[in-house]
Structure 1
Amino acid sequence: MSKSTHILVIRLSAMGDVAMVVPILRILAQTYPEVKIAVLSRPFFKPLFTGIPNLEFLEADVYGKHKRLGLIKLAKEAKALGVDAVADLHNVIRSKIISEFLKLKGLKVASIDKGRAEKKALVTANGNSIAQLKTTHQRYADVFEKLGFPLDLSKYPTPPPLRLIPKLNALMGVEPKKLIGIAPFAAHDSKMYPLDLMKEVIANLDASEKYRIFLFGGGKKEIAQLKKLENPFSNVTTVAGKLTFEEELALISNLDLMLSMDSGNGHLAAIYGIPVITLWGVTHPFAGFTPFNQPESHQLVADRKKYPLIPTSIYGNKFPKGYDEAIKTISPEAVVLKIRAVLS
């Protein structure tokens, strides 16, 4: 391929999966500064890619003008940008339609290998020993290698914290306290630390007067639950529903630590090199969804001796009766000890 390659990168959803693309594109832009990048994703995710050199963003309105046959229109929009290669990091029907159309126009196409066979073996291990699978980040990088652009994931140019507007400075306060983000929700209850146990974690941290804690989430139900969680504590603030996505990213980029489930907020923090502690219920870090550059010691997993069938599924949507309780085997004391150790 010529040095002037202009790559269309497709990843439409979900937030965590799109966030995991960001470190790969930062490495690509640094390693191959002559390459142009066009990211095709949902408009909401556009702020994630701010500051990456030679990158333009193509908005996919998959429920509106780009629905069904509108995907061909979207492919034509991409072609009009001058792209000459496609990195399909999603490999679903929508991305395949776009990729195949562009392939017919003579563009080179490479798609992600999601490793379905290995993942199936992982979730059907039935209590036998399990091993780390290739990470999603490496699977993304492999796609660019197929296009002729090998990437070294150890060469990540961590972006600086984003600028804080007065509104965010006011939230953070003037006292010199460590800033902790907590994102207690996940797509499935089986991946979520029970709120009564999370309250114990927060109570312990709050009592020390050493930390300022921000609670992240979204949607009316979650916001109501977070406000209830916040109420008893003087050092805790719910930011859900109060900030734009850009403002949330700016706050996250200035944290000292993020405590997250196996969900999107951990991946957002990892983009900025923030230490992320992840709590795992019926899913497991060996499936390859650990936040970028986070060590194994930051992954607190449910007790596999008591719940030997973990991981019961890749996404946490399937599990045997009683396994939704598995995450409770991570004690609040263990979570607090890990937070204190990382912040010290």
Structure 2
Amino acid sequence: MARILVIRFSALGDVAMTVPVIHSLATQYPQHEIIILSRGMMQPLFQRLPSNVRFINADLSGKHKGIRGLNRLYNELKAMRFDYVADLHNVLRSRYLRYRFLLSGVSVAAICKGRLGKKQLIRRRHKVLVMQKTSFQRYADVFSALVCPVRLDFTSIYGAGKGDFSQIASVVQPKGTDKWIGIAPFAKHRGKIYPIELQEQVVAHFAANPTVKVFLFGGGKEEQEVFDRWTKKYPSVTSLIGKLNLSTELNLMSHLDVMLSMDSANMHLASLVGIPVVSVWGATHPYAGFMGWKQQPDHTVQLDLSCRPCSVYGQKPCFRGDYACLMQITPRQVIEKIERIIS
């Protein structure tokens, strides 16, 4: 039996991508104890994993803030006597903890992020359009190098089933024969967001169908304003802002027929519950290795432009200034992808 510390602090989508790997590891090696170290808000992602998986909150804004806080966190972790440390983040904080463990004689390994291949993928000229290793495989490689190989055989956090509907019955009515579509229209960076006025045309199309129910996923003031406007114009559309926490949001997602998402965390959350995702890609590209778990390439919506991809994470401003990679996607292209799945 070995005790393995797994470090991944952020972001939500990246932490969600660890779940298929850790679930696979835990089921294939039940004799090992796996401890996830992450921010407390991430805990619901791991609640339905095997019993040999535990979660520890890294309070990086409180008692574990700064170098003094990291030293406190290290001392708390050291008392747990880990055999291995898997750094799936490889940033300053995780490196500091990793090196402290290394100096104390613990075996450590860290993710290789493949920066060179990604840089060649997004450079302006002479792009090398080659599929990079997925984050799932990069995470699995850490465990293979550290302690044991992992066969990635995860399906869903609910196995072959769905979430317990009674936990969300106060928010939604029973599904019946309707088709349920989730729409997550936002992302962290503009280079990932399909224009809201075009997305509204997608919403309006499905809101007009009495056999379809549309749920809006998101959070924040800007998103609240957009969702309020849409739900007022389209009464059959339901905004979930403020109605669910991460755990119950995953539950509801498991009952969807399809999710429409940007290259964002909601793509990964829906993937964890085995739901097909129609994903819209602008400045970023699936070749960077961030496609949702077991999502199909033909469910993506993207344009073949010589300038894309121009960014790994979507944060770079469009050097053309027109965001053609998103503006030139028609609502009909998105609608047809969704209809192909729900039909």
Name the TM-score, length of structure 2 as normaliser: 0.94
Could you tell me which residue of structure 2 aligns to residue 329 of structure 1?
328
2:235 aligns with 234
Matched, 1:106 2:105: yes
1:250-329 alignment runs, 5 A limit:
250-304=251-305, 308-318=306-316, 319-329=318-328
Gaps of 5+ in 1: none
1:115–1:174 Cα change, 3 Å: closer
* Distance apart, 1:75 and its partner CA: 1.8
Find the residue that maps to 1:18 and give its secondary structure.
helix
What is the match of residue 22 of structure 1? 19
| Count of residue pairs brought into register by the alignment | 337
Give the percent of matched residue pairs that are identical in Structure 1 and Structure 2.
43
Q: Distance in 2 between matches of 1:176 and 1:234?
A: 19
CA contact (8 A) 1:172 1:212 kept: no
In structure 2, what is the equivalent of residue 59 of structure 1?
57
Distance apart, 1:273 and its partner CA: 0.8
Q: Using the alignment, how far apart are the partners of 2:124 and 2:136 within structure 1?
A: 24
Kept after mapping to 2: 8 A contact 1:72/1:101 = no
Matches for 1:1-344 after TM superposition, within 5 Å: 4-53=1-50, 54-68=52-66, 69-124=68-123, 126=125, 128=127, 130-153=129-152, 155-160=153-158, 161-165=162-166, 167-168=168-169, 170-304=171-305, 308-318=306-316, 319-344=318-343
Q: More displaced, 85-94 or 25-34?
A: 25-34
Residues 341 and 138 (structure 1 numbering): CA distance in 2 closer, same or farther, change over 3 Å? same
* C-alpha deviation, 1:159, in angstroms: 2.8
Say what the alpha-carbon RMSD is for the aligned residues. Answer: 1.6
CA-CA distance at 1:166 after TM superposition: 5.5
Alpha-carbon distance in structure 2 between the residues aligned to 1:196 and 1:303: 22
Comparing 313-322 with 158-167, greater Cα deviation is found at 158-167
C-alpha contact 1:11 1:18 (8 A) present in aligned 2: yes
In the aligned structure 1, how far is the partner of 2:125 from the partner of 2:332? Answer: 29
How far, CA to CA, are the matches of 1:258 and 1:234 in structure 2? 20
Partners of 1:26 and 1:39 in 2: CA distance: 12
Give SS of 1:75's match: helix
Deviation at 1:233, TM superposition (A): 1.5
Which SS does the other structure have where 2:233 is aligned?
Answer: coil
User: Using a 3 Å threshold, how does the CA distance of structure 1 residues 56 and 210 change in structure 2: closer, same or farther?
Assistant: same
C-alpha displacement at 1:118, in angstroms? 0.6
TM-score, normalized by length of structure 1? 0.94
Cα drift, residue 295 of structure 1: 1.3
CA-to-aligned-CA distance 1:60-90 (integer Å, 9 cap, x gap): 1111110112112112222222321011000
Three-state SS of the structure 2 residue aligned to 1:51 is coil
* Equivalent residue letter for 1:317: Q
Which letter maps to 2:312?
A: I
Where has structure 1 moved over 4 Å in runs of 4 or more?
none
Describe the SS at the equivalent of 1:231. helix
Secondary structure class of the residue paired with 2:56: strand
